[in-house]
Structure formats: structure tokens, C-alpha cells
Amino acid sequence: MSSSSSSRDAKAFLVQGEEASYRLLVESVREYAIFMLDANGYIVTWNSGAERIKGYQAEEIIGRHFSSFYPPDAVESGWPDYELQVASTQGRFEDEGWRVRKDGSRFWANVTISALRDERGRLRGFAKLTRDLSERKRVEMLAADGARREQMLEAERTARIEAQRAARMKDEFLATLSHELRTPLNAILGWTQMLRSPQATEGGVDVRHGLEVIERNARAQIKLVDDLLDLSRIMAGRVRLDVQRVALIDVVQGAIESAQPAAQAKGVRLEQVLDPGSGFVAGDPARLQQVIWNLLSNAIKFTPRGGRVQVLLERVNSHLEISVSDTGIGIPASFLPHVFDRFSQKDSTASRGYGGLGLGLAICKQLVELHGGSIHAESGGEGRGATFTVKLTHAVARDFDFSGRVHPTHPTHPTAAENVRLPALDGIRVLVVDDEPDARELIQRILQNHGATASCVASAEEALRFLAASPPDVLISDIGMPGMDGYQLMRKIRADEPRDRRLPAVALTAFARSEDRKRAILAGYQTHLAKPFDTAELVLVVAGLMNRT
């Protein structure tokens, strides 16, 4: 037996009578590294096989953590801990992979870890058995030539990391699921027992409150089950969209209303900047509302008290964009690519404080894509909030010509303005502000052709004088102008007018970056039109602001 089994640690670890037989068995084996770990993964015994295979003497390795035998990438991905976790929950774990010797060289190992429990079922530690399969591996590798060998190694590494991630995710998911299902069950069972207790019959228990708790928790559980079923239905392609002409603003407002109580309860401010002329999409209103609601509930969930959640709805040329941004905990760059994966949550089961199954965003993504749209996430990193943006194709009247239904898998993309029956702008008075004479004239003509009366001015200062003298129904203003620019103009207008009678206003800019759009909306414009725009877009935007669509 190697010197280790005589060490005090090992003595304490092994139950008296077992030690002798263990000694014999272990000593006779030189082909295997056999050693034991305490419950936290620190090495407590070491045999001669271990010495031979791994190159450490007992004195140098006992007391160290067993992750020393793993390559850095495996340690980084948390694989050693994962092995112990599986061994302790399932009794045993077997794996094949690269391990590292004392001299830094790698060998291909077959590893078995068994949990050791005492007679009362308490975890004492782990027995670990490692076989060196390098020879077999070498023969395999020799059969392959150089480049292919590299490829094999690389493929093996990638496959392993991916498999590790998937295995961990599945495990974490099951743990999360049982936790999430049990939490409401606890409350339900606890209160049921309370209501059946003698005190309850004597009126000493608040029955009404108890029933409320039970109902709330039962509903929470229904939501979990619904989400699970929903996801499997969506994944199997069995979801049916009830596609209609949907005013997106209604959907967004519906979602905001249902998220409001949660925001209030948590002390998170919920702000909205919704373009009333944003228009329509072809979609299933209930499903779209579900998407926005999911984004809102995440934003509220991951934003601490005192924070802010902002919903922005705007029309950007042929798209409608909804973005939900928050000032919350943010998403680290390394996790960002995985947020839409099923069952993925940044917090693993042990440290999670937020609840949920990690399904919400996976469902959102599927639903948005079924609508022919896209969704993406941005974050400045941990502690810096997150923004989720959904883009959907704007639908014009023509899309609904046949019985008001569109097949979602064949979205029609409106390209030209022809064929579209545009709403009339009769009687609408528009003030156009642009320092460019050609641009002014073009807008004026388009508007007049559709029945509106359009007046033009060449600067923000002139616009303010005009507004004071004869206020129009709609203002269309360029942003970049010499002197006072379009942002300043709008802030001045908003500051001076009564809150309940806001002048509908459209910002026109040559830059369609999303910051520019946000700036325009934040300055007080209801909507934004990027140059070049087409006739139909301009007419639809004005009609939308005046509720003429």
C-alpha cells in the first residue's frame, strides 16, 4: 500500500474493519489509479496505480483538489464539479476524456466516480477509479494522418464541450423544474393543512387569505405547465397562429397593462413611448401580446427596485419595432448568445434568486420567427441593463385583401406604393419644416395630392412663429437644420403646450440609426420617418397620427 493509506486522513476516512481488505485490494492494482475524495472533492487516499499513472507521490497530492487532473478548459466549464454532482445524485458517474499528469502531459482516461455514503445515507466522499487508455487512443490516432489527427482532436474537444454544456443544462433544468413546481405546491399543501386544522374550524385562521394563496400558487403552476406544453408544441411546429390585421399599439398596451401590477409591486417604473401611427402587422394578437409580456416580465424581474423599464414602439420604414429596455442587472457578453436557448438561465440552480424555467425567451423567439420577424438582445454587460428588440414587417391594407387573413409562413412584403389604396388626408393641415427647398416641395406635393393642406417653412424659428399664429393638425420636421435643430424645436414645442393636447409630430432624418430614432422619439416626436421614404409611407404615417387608417 502506498504511504497515503497510513496517513491520518485516510484512517479517519475509512471505517476500521474495512481498512484491511481495502488495503489488499487496492495495493494489488497497478493498472488503475484508485483514490478517494472527501465530499468536497479533496484527495484523501492515493494508491500506487495512481502514482504510476498520474505521476504524483501521495505526499504531494493528498489534500489537493481533484480538479488538478483536468485540462484548464474542462475546469473552466465546471466539469469536475459536475461529475461530483452527478455521482452524488445518481450514485455513479462514468466518463472518458483527457486528463493531465504531474508533468503536464495529457493522457486519455476512463474515469468512474462512485459516491460513498455511510449507513445513514450521509455523503462521506467519493471513490475514483481512473484507467489510462492512452495506448488505445494512440493506436486510433496513428491510423489517422497529421491534419486529420488535428481535426479529430479538435472535433473531439468541441463535441465534448458541447455535450458537457448540454448535459449540465438538462440537469440544471430538471433541478429548476422540480424546484419551480414544488415551490407553489408547498404553499398549496401548507395552506390546505392549515385550513383543515382545528384552529381553522374555530375561526382562528384567515380562510380568505389562505384560499387566495392557494389560488395564486395554483395559477403560477398552471403557467409553468402551459409554458412547457407551449414550447413543445411550438418546437414540434404544431402551433397555429390566428393571423389578423393587428394594430401593434393595442397589443403593446395590453401587455403593459398586464405587467403593470408586477412593476408596481416591485417598485420599478414602467415607461412607454408608443407611436400611435405605427400601424399594423399581420399576426396573432394573443401570441404577440405574449411575446411583449414575456419581455416586460423579464425586464421587471431582472431590474432591482427603483429601476426603470421602457417600452418603445415605432415605425421604421417597412418595419415596426418594439424595444423593451431596462436598467437592471444586465447580461454578460458570454451569456448573451445563449439567452434565447431553451432552459438557459444565467444563474445555475444553486444561486438562482429569480424563479422561472428559462423558457420565456425561447418561446418568444419561436413566436416572433413564426410571424416572419426577428428578435435580438443587447446589453452593456453586468449591471448595465438590457434591451430586447422585436422587428415585425409593417402590413399595408393590401395584405388583407383576401378575407382579412394572411398565411404566416408566406408573409407578403409590401415593396412599392402602387396598388396600395392609401387613406385620404382630406382637410388635414400639415406644417412642413425643412431647410431644403426640394425636400419641402416634395413633401408638400405628396400631401396635397392626398387631400391635405400643407404649409412650408425653412427653419425651426419660423416654425415656432407659424405654430403660434395658426396651429396645424400635424407637424413634419427635418432634424438637421442650421440654427435650432429638429430636436430643440420639438422640446420647445412640448414644453409650451398643454400635456393633453400634444401636437402630432413626425421627425424626418437621413440617418436611420436606432439611436437617432430613439432621440427623436425621446425629444417628443411621436414617430420617425427615415429619408428616403416613399409616398405611401409618408401618407400612412400622417393618416396614422390622425387616426385615418
Ligand X SMILES: Nc1ncnc2c1ncn2[C@@H]1O[C@H](COP(=O)(O)OP(=O)(O)OP(=O)(O)O)[C@@H](O)[C@H]1O
Nearer to ligand X, 357 or 460 (CB): 357
Provide the minimum distance between the beta carbon of 111 and ligand X in the complex, in angstroms, as a whole number. 32
Q: Is 548 helix (H, G, I), strand (E, B) or coil?
A: coil
Give the residue with the Cβ less far from Mg ion, 299 or 539: 299
Q: Which residue from 100, 251, 386, 540 is in contact with ligand X, where contact means CB under 6 A? A: 386
Amino acid at 254: G
d(CA 467, CA 249): 28
Measured from the CB of residue 231, what is the shortest distance to ligand X in angstroms? 9
For 409, the 3-state DSSP assignment is: coil
Cell of 118: 455511510
Burial class (CB in 10 A: 0-12, 13-18, 19+), 90: exposed
Kindly state whether residue 360 participates in binding Mg ion, applying the rule CB under 5 A.
yes
Identify the DSSP state of 399: G
Preceding peptide of 261 cis, ω within 30°: no
Amino acid identity for residue 276 in this structure: P
Q: Which of 345, 366, 444, 549 binds ligand X (CB under 6 A)?
A: 345
Nearest distance, CB of residue 264 and ligand X, angstroms = 18
Q: Output 62 or 361, the one with its CB closest to ligand X.
A: 361
Q: Tell how strand 474-478 and strand 429-433 pair up.
A: parallel
187 binds, among ligand X, Mg ion, none (CB under 5 to 8 A by kind): none
- Residues 48, 290, 344, 366: which binds ligand X (CB under 6 A)? 344
Q: Which of 7, 45, 47, 298 binds Mg ion (CB under 5 A)?
A: 298
Dihedral angle computed from the Cα positions of residues 26, 27, 28 and 31, in that order, rounded to the nearest 10 degrees? 70
The residue among 295 and 474 lying less far from ligand X, judged by its C-beta, is 295
Scanning 48-56, 191-199, 343-351, 510-518 for contacts with ligand X by CB under 6 A, the matching segment is: 343-351
Structural contact between residues 63 and 9, judged by C-beta atoms closer than 8 angstroms: yes
Take residue 248 and report the three cell numbers written for it.
401593434
Residue 302, contacted partner among Mg ion, ligand X, none, CB below 5-8 A by kind: ligand X
Q: Which of Mg ion, ligand X, none interacts with 359 (beta carbon under 5 to 8 A by kind)?
A: ligand X
Select the binding partner of residue 446 from ligand X, Mg ion, none (C-beta < 5 to 8 A, by kind).
none
Binding at 386: pick from Mg ion, ligand X, none (beta carbon under 5-8 Å per type): ligand X
Q: C-beta of 299: minimal distance to ligand X in Å?
A: 5
How far apart are alpha carbons 4 and 64 in whole angstroms?
A: 13
Residues in 300-329 that interact with ligand X by CB under 6 A: 302, 326, 328-329
Mask 179-218, x = binds ligand X (CB under 6 A)? ----------------------------------------
Q: Does 290 bind ligand X (CB under 6 A)?
A: no
Smallest gap from residue 5 Cβ to Mg ion (A): 52
The full DSSP string for 427-464 is T-EEEEE-S-HHHHHHHHHHHHHTT-EEEEESSHHHHH
How many residues form the binding site for ligand X (CB under 6 A)?
Answer: 21
Q: H or E element: which one contains 38?
A: strand 32-38
Instruction: Report the residue number, 37 or 288, with the smaller CB distance to ligand X.
Output: 288
Closer residue to ligand X, CB minimum distance, 233 or 491: 233
Among 14, 109, 331, 425, binds ligand X (CB under 6 A): 331
Contact between residue 273 and residue 311 where contact means Cβ atoms under 8 Å apart: yes
Residue from the set 360, 411, 472, 544 that interacts with ligand X by CB under 6 A: 360
Q: Which amino acid is at 530?
A: A
**What are the two backbone dihedrals, phi and then psi, of residue 282, each rounded to the nearest 5 degrees?**
-95, 115
CB of 298 to Mg ion, least distance (A): 4
Task: Kindly state the helix (H) or strand (E) to which residue 183 belongs, with its residue range.
Answer: helix 146-196
For position 361 contacting ligand X by CB under 6 A, the verdict is: yes
Cα 265 to chain centroid, rounded: 23
Contact between residue 408 and residue 372 where contact means Cβ atoms under 8 Å apart: yes
Q: Rounded to the nearest 10 degrees, how much is the dihedral formed by the CA atoms of 74, 75, 79, 84?
A: 140
Instruction: Sketch the per residue contact string, 320 through 359, with Mg ion: x for CB under 5 A, - otherwise.
Output: ------------------------------------x---
Please, what is the minimum distance in Å from the beta carbon of residue 517 to ligand X? 21
280: enclosing H helix or E strand: strand 280-283
Cβ neighbour number for residue 256 with a 10 Å cutoff: 21
| Residue numbers at the binding site for Mg ion (CB under 5 A) | 298, 356, 360
| Residue numbers at the binding site for ligand X (CB under 6 A) | 227, 298-299, 302, 326, 328-331, 339, 344-346, 356-362, 386
